[in-house]
Structure 1
Amino acid sequence: MPIFTINALSMDGRGIVRHGENGKTTFVSGALPGDRVEVTITREHRGYCEGRVTTLIEKAPDTIEPACPHAHTCGGCSLQRLPYDAQLAAKEQFVLEALTRIGKIANPPLRPIVASPDVLGYRNRVQLAFARNEEGKIHLGMRMPQSHLVVPAKGCRLLASGAEEIVQKVEELANRADLSVYEPDFSKAPARNGRNRGRAAGTKKGFLRFCQIREGRVPDDASLASARHIPEHQAFWLVFLTSPGSRLERAALARVATEILLACPTVHAVLHEERASEDMLVRGERRIFAMARPDFPLDPALMVMPLCGTGFLVDAADFFQVNTKAADLLAQEAANLVQKGPLFDLYCGVGAPGLLFGEGEITGIEYSASSIAMAKRNAARMGQKASYHAGDAARILQTALFKSAKPVQVLCDPPRAGLDSRVVSWLLEKRPEHIIYISCNPATLARDILALQKAYRLEQTTSVDMFPQTPHVETVSLLTLENCARS
C-alpha cells in the first residue's frame, strides 16, 4: 500500500496528494494536510485516484483528538480533527478557491466568515439509515460514503440533546418487529457530482430505509394565529422513510410508532412516508400516516421552527435549516443586503428567510407543494402580501406570468446543484438590479456567478459556518447589475 504525506484539502473534505499513485493526484478520505498515511486506493480514474486511510502513521502537528468516537470511520465530520479556527480558515479557503478558479474572479470581495455559536450538538434534524450489523440486529446510523456499512449513531456528537435515547428505542422496537431493511446496491449509485441522481441505486429488497429525527416547537393556537408567537414546548418528530410496504409491514410500523409515543415523552409525532424510487434520496413520495399524542388536535406533521424571533410553520418532512442559531446569523447577513420593495424569492421553501425581509410584495417559487402550502400560511400569519407557486422554478419562469415580470431584486436559495441554466438565462434577460444568492455549495455558486458576470458584478460574499466539523459551508452573496448604483 502506498504511503503519502497529504498536501492539501479538497472542498469535500478529503486530503489531496499531488503526484500520488502512478503520478496522479489522489484524493484520500479521512486525511488532513500534514498527515502521513498509508492509503488503500479504492478507485482509479483517467486523471486522478481515490483512496482511504488504512493507517494514520503520523498526525499533522496542529490536529486535535476528535470529540466523536466515530470520527475515523463515519466520514461525515471529516474536519473534526482540526481546531475550530482552522476549520473556519479551511472553509474560507474553499470559497476563495471556488470563486477564483471556477468563477474566474481575481480578487473576490470576501467578508470574514461567520462562526457557528455551537460546534457540537447543533443539528435540529438528522437523517439516519437503517442497517443490520454483523449479528443481524437492526441499528441506525450514518452510512459511510459509497458503502453498505452504517456507523452506529450512538455517541454522535452532532445529535441534539435527547436524540440518542430516541435512537435506542427505535432500534429496540424495530428489532422486536423484525422488519426487513433496505439494501442499496452501490454499484449503481449516483456519481459524486450528483448528475446520475434518479438512476437505479437499489436491489428492490427491504422495507426500512431511513429515520429522520427532528427537533422543533409544538404549535398552539397562538402560534397558528401569529408568527410573532413562538411556542415554548420543544419536542421531536420522527419521519420513517420506507420502500412501498405490504399491509402487514405498514401495520407493524404503525404499532412501532404507537409504542414510541408511549415510551418517549419527548417525541411529539411520528410519520411514515414511502419512496418507490430505487435511490438513496431521503424524500418521501407518499405519506402513509402521521400520528401524534392523543391530546393534540392539530395536524401531527405541523411544527414551528424559530428564525430571528419569528415562528415559521413547517411540515416535519420538509426542508428547514438544520443549525437553528447559525440560521439566525445567515438570515441577518441576507437581511443586510435586501432593498426595500418587492422581492422575487426563488427556491423559497416555507417562506424563510424571504418573509423576514418583506416591505413589499413577495413572489415565491418552490418545487415542494407542501412547502408552498406552509409558505402561504406563514405569509398570512405575518400579514405579508405574497403569492407563491409550486413547481420547477425553471419551468414556472417560462410561463406567461413570469415572462412579463420585471423584478427589481431576486433572492435565490437553490439546492446544492445550484441554479438551473434556464433560471440564469431568465435573470440575464430580466436583469433585476440586485441578486441575493444564498448557497450551500461554493463550486456551483462560483459557476453561476461566472455565468451572471455577463451583466452583474459580485459586490460581496460572506461565508456562514452552518455545519461545524464538516467541510460544508453556506454563503450569502450580493450581485449588482452593472451601472446600477446601490441605494
Structure 2
Amino acid sequence: MAEWKKNDRIDVMIEDMSETGEGIGKTDGFTWFIKDTVIGDKVQAKVMKTKKSYGFAKLERITEPSFNRIEPKCPVAGPCGGCQLQAMDYGEQLRYKERKIYNNITRIGGFSEVPMQPIMGMDEPWRYRNKAQFPWGLDKDGNIVTGFYAGRTHSIISCEDCLLGIEENQEVLRQIKAHMERYHLIPYEEASHKGLIRHTLIRKGFRTGEIMVCQVINGNSLPHSKELVERLLEIPGMTSISFNINKERTNVILGDKVENLYGPGYITDFIGAVKYRISPLSFYQVNPVQTEKLYGTALAYAGLTGVETVWDLYCGIGTISLFLAQKAKKVYGVEIVPQAIEDARENARLNGLDNVEFFVGKAEEVLPEQYEKHQVYADVIVVDPPRKGCDEACLNTIVKMGPKRVVYVSCDSATLARDMKYLAENGYKVEKVRGCDMFPQALHTEVCCLIVKA
C-alpha cells in the first residue's frame, strides 16, 4: 500500500457517502473521506490527514462529474452546514437514504433479508420546514447578520432566505434586523457572553397559516417590544409573538422562561384530522407533509380495529398517540418532558379524545412499573425514541409484555438496527421496513418498522 503524506495529490472515484456527508472513495484499498463530493464523482484531492486505514482529503477539482450531480439551488449550500446533499439529484438522494437504512439493518442488525417497502419521498423537496432558528451576530465589518452556522463552527453564514424554510422567514428577519438597527440592540457574542439578541425562532402551521415568532434574548426584557410587535403584525398570519430568556453560557438555544408579547402564546396546526397546539418550547416534527405520511404508515402498521390497548413510548406532545387514539380502545403515552405532557393532555382535550392517558417519566421506568405494579398490558407498543434508540430495560419490558405488534419509528437506522436485533433474538420477527424522507437535501431520514410476535 502506498504511503500518503500531507499535501499529496490523489485521484479518487467517489463510491459512497459517510454519515456526516463526506464522499467516500478508495485508492489501493485505502479509504478517503472528501467533503463536497457526491457518489459517482471522479475527483482530484489534496491529502490533509491520514490514519492507519483511512484519511481525509480536500477536494481540488472534479475531473469527471457524477451523472447524479446537479447545481445546488441555494447560493450558500457549500459553506452553510445545513444541506449536505444539495448537489445530488433528488432521486439519487432517496436511493442513498434507502441504501443507508438497508446497510445498517444488515450490518448492525445482522439480518440477511430486509422486507423493505419503497421510501416515501417528497413531490416538492423544498420549503418544507415549519420551524427555523436563526442566530444573530456581527460580520467582520460590524454589520448585523443572521443566517446559519457554517458546518462544525459557530461563525454565521449570512442567509435570510433558506430554501428549506418558509418564505415568511425573510420578512420576519428583515423586521427584527431593522428594529435592532433602529434601537441599537446588539447581537449576542458567545466569546464575551455580551449582547442581547441571540436566536430568532419562527414556526408556521402549514394547514392553518398561523405564524409564531419567539425572540431569544440574553437579558430580562426586550426594549421597544411594542414597536416590534406592531411591525411583525404587518406579516399575514402572525398569531403569536414572545421572547425567551436565555442568560446561560450554553449552546442550547432556548431557555425555560417565555414571556408573551402578543397572541395566545401558541399556534395550532393539523396532521391529518388531528389538531395540535404548539408552543415555543414544544417539540413538533419539522416537516408536516412527510409527518402525515410517516404517522399514516405507523397507524397502518399498528393494524388497529378499535379494541386494542396501545402504549406510545417517547410520545412528545402526543403527536402519534392522538393519531392512534382515533382507532384504538385506549392509548397510554409516556414522555420525560413535563411541558410536553401538558401539551399532550391539552391536545387530547382539543380533539375531544378521552381514551388517552399520559405519564411523565422515562419510558424505561414507567413501562416496567405500570406492567409489574398495575398489570397493564399492551396489544401494540409504538416507540419513537431519540437518536440513541431504546434503553435495554425498556426493550426487556416490551419483550415481557409480549405485544402482538411493535411499531418502531426511528430517526437513526443504526440504533434501530441494534434494537431490532434484540427483539428478533427475543421472539419477534421484522415484517415491514419503510423509509420516510423527512429531511430532503440533508442526511437524516426517518424509518417506520413493523415488528410482530413470531
TM-score, normalization by structure 1: 0.82
**Aligned mate of 2:24, from 6, 16, 29:** 16
Residue type of the alignment partner of 1:443: A
How far the C-alpha of 1:271 sits from its partner, in A, is: 2.4
Find the counterpart in structure 1 of residue 337 from structure 2: 368
What secondary structure sits across from 1:353 in the alignment? Answer: helix
Q: In the aligned structure 2, how far is the partner of 1:344 from the partner of 1:470?
A: 31
Find the counterpart in structure 2 of residue 409 from structure 1: 380
Note if contact 2:311-2:332 (Cα within 8 Å) is conserved in structure 1: yes
How far the C-alpha of 1:265 sits from its partner, in A, is: 4.3
**Aligned mate of 2:15, from 7, 11, 19:** 7
Q: In the aligned structure 2, how far is the partner of 1:259 from the partner of 1:318?
A: 25
Q: In the aligned structure 2, how far is the partner of 1:51 from the partner of 1:450?
A: 35
How far the C-alpha of 1:242 sits from its partner, in A, is: 4.0
Note if contact 2:161-2:167 (Cα within 8 Å) is conserved in structure 1: no
Note if contact 2:321-2:356 (Cα within 8 Å) is conserved in structure 1: no
Note if contact 2:322-2:353 (Cα within 8 Å) is conserved in structure 1: no
What secondary structure sits across from 1:399 in the alignment? Answer: helix
Find the counterpart in structure 2 of residue 379 from structure 1: 348
How far the C-alpha of 1:357 sits from its partner, in A, is: 2.0
Q: 1:393 to 1:37 in 2, by over 3 A?
A: same
Find the counterpart in structure 1 of residue 301 from structure 2: 337
Q: In the aligned structure 2, how far is the partner of 1:233 from the partner of 1:461?
A: 32
Find the counterpart in structure 1 of residue 90 from structure 2: 84
What does 1:61-460 align with in structure 2 at a 5 Å threshold? 61-184=67-190, 204=193, 206-216=195-205, 233-243=208-218, 245=219, 247=220, 250-252=221-223, 254=225, 257-275=228-246, 278-282=249-253, 284-292=254-262, 296=263, 299-300=264-265, 302-340=266-304, 341-358=308-325, 359-380=328-349, 381-399=351-369, 404-455=375-426, 456-460=428-432
How far the C-alpha of 1:48 sits from its partner, in A, is: 4.1
Point out the more displaced range, 80-89 or 312-321: 312-321
Find the counterpart in structure 1 of residue 40 from structure 2: 34
Q: Deviations over 1:109-153 (max 9, x none)?
A: 110111113211111111222232222222221212211222222
Q: 1:183 to 1:4 in 2, by over 3 A?
A: farther
Residue type of the alignment partner of 1:235: E
CA RMSD of aligned residues (A): 2.7
What secondary structure sits across from 1:129 in the alignment? Answer: strand
Point out the more displaced range, 166-175 or 447-456: 166-175
Find the counterpart in structure 1 of residue 436 from structure 2: 464
Find the counterpart in structure 1 of residue 4 from structure 2: none
Q: In the aligned structure 2, how far is the partner of 1:204 from the partner of 1:19?
A: 46
Q: In the aligned structure 2, how far is the partner of 1:150 from the partner of 1:158?
A: 17
Note if contact 1:304-1:311 (Cα within 8 Å) is conserved in structure 2: yes
Q: Deviations over 1:267-313 (max 9, x none)?
A: 3222222345544233x342241222xxx4xx32x221211132222
How far the C-alpha of 1:362 sits from its partner, in A, is: 0.8
Residue type of the alignment partner of 1:378: N
What secondary structure sits across from 2:333 in the alignment? Answer: strand
Gap runs ≥5 in structure 2: 1-6
Point out the more displaced range, 128-137 or 111-120: 128-137
Gap runs ≥5 in structure 1: 185-201, 218-231, 483-487
Note if contact 1:308-1:331 (Cα within 8 Å) is conserved in structure 2: no
Note if contact 1:125-1:213 (Cα within 8 Å) is conserved in structure 2: yes
TM-score, normalization by structure 2: 0.87
Q: 1:276 to 1:388 in 2, by over 3 A?
A: farther
Q: Deviations over 1:47-72 (max 9, x none)?
A: 64455545555432331111111112
Q: 1:47 to 1:433 in 2, by over 3 A?
A: farther
Note if contact 2:217-2:246 (Cα within 8 Å) is conserved in structure 1: yes
Note if contact 2:411-2:445 (Cα within 8 Å) is conserved in structure 1: yes
Q: In the aligned structure 2, how far is the partner of 1:394 from the partner of 1:439?
A: 17
Note if contact 2:243-2:261 (Cα within 8 Å) is conserved in structure 1: no
Q: In the aligned structure 2, how far is the partner of 1:154 from the partner of 1:115?
A: 26
How far the C-alpha of 1:402 sits from its partner, in A, is: 5.9
What secondary structure sits across from 1:466 in the alignment? Answer: coil
How far the C-alpha of 1:342 sits from its partner, in A, is: 1.0
Q: In the aligned structure 2, how far is the partner of 1:46 from the partner of 1:256?
A: 60
Q: 1:28 to 1:178 in 2, by over 3 A?
A: farther
Note if contact 1:209-1:241 (Cα within 8 Å) is conserved in structure 2: yes
